[in-house]
Amino acid sequence: MGYVAPSTGRVIRAVLFDTFGSVVDWRSGVAREVSVFAARHHVELDEWAFADAWRSRYQPSMEPVRSGAREFVPLDVLHRENLLVTLTEFGLDPTGIHDAEIDALNTAWERLDPWPDSVEGLRVLGEQVIVGPLSNANLALLLHMAQRARLPWTVIVGSDATRAYKPDPRAYRNVAEMLRLEPGEVMLAAAHNGDLRAAGTAGLATAFFARPTEHGPAQTTDLRAEGTWDVVCDDIVDLARRIAEPGAARG
């Protein structure tokens, strides 16, 4: 039968994950790539502050697309625009840097390490349900990330396929439709209460686990569940255990 989500009353067929922060550690990965870039260009900068500054432009840059003021462009494009501004903010003139070097740094978002439980949790969960990302990232980024980090996704639907950015309800509903599932048969799993709130409003089931160091040691947000999510668990391995069919053999 499978796991029935209390909020939707449906058997869950797919568990889809927020990716940056929930499955992979973007801050450490981006800081590492920035540090390599800085060393090669013989500049001194705080790579952690750079990672935070680059990331801080992430949500605002999607806003014009969400509102319809700007036509959909893949996240790669927004990341690159945000990178140019961030470089300038840190005193580097991007016009003095080769395009290929900018492009290479822009792919830092593909070279992020999974949290310790991610690969094993996804593997076990994937024996029972479809597992995939439900991220604002585009397919190429998610594919390269999965190949490097060995994330065992069943399927990857990028935001360039749904052409919508979370928390736009279409981002959640379009992926369910492409999987030929009802929204209530899909669960969003994330370390972000705001993402889960939007997913729940769009009709999806929800699972929360905290990533208390996503934003560094002094993190103050998303340390605990702030809603009545279907599952509140420790991490992805724990989630796989909770979703396991009662009585079914466990991997």
Interface positions with a second copy (CB under 8 A): 76, 130, 138-140, 143, 147, 154-158, 160-161, 178-180
Nearer to a second copy, 156 or 210 (CB): 156
- Coil, strand or helix at 11: strand
State the minimum distance, in angstroms, from the CB of residue 134 to a second copy. Answer: 14
Name the residue type at position 60: P
State the minimum distance, in angstroms, from the CB of residue 138 to a second copy. Answer: 7
- Which whole-number Å values give the CA distances from 21 to 71, 98, 104, 183, 184, in the listed order? 26, 30, 21, 23, 24
State the minimum distance, in angstroms, from the CB of residue 47 to a second copy. Answer: 25
DSSP 91: T
Nearer to a second copy, 38 or 157 (CB): 157
According to DSSP, the β-strands at 231-232 and 113-114 are unpaired
Of 37, 54, 38, 66, which is closest to residue 162 (Cα–Cα)? 66
CB 170 within 8 A of CB 164: yes
Nearer to a second copy, 143 or 225 (CB): 143
Nearer to a second copy, 47 or 168 (CB): 168
CA distance 37 to 32: 9
State the minimum distance, in angstroms, from the CB of residue 178 to a second copy. Answer: 5
State the minimum distance, in angstroms, from the CB of residue 168 to a second copy. Answer: 17
Nearer to a second copy, 80 or 211 (CB): 80
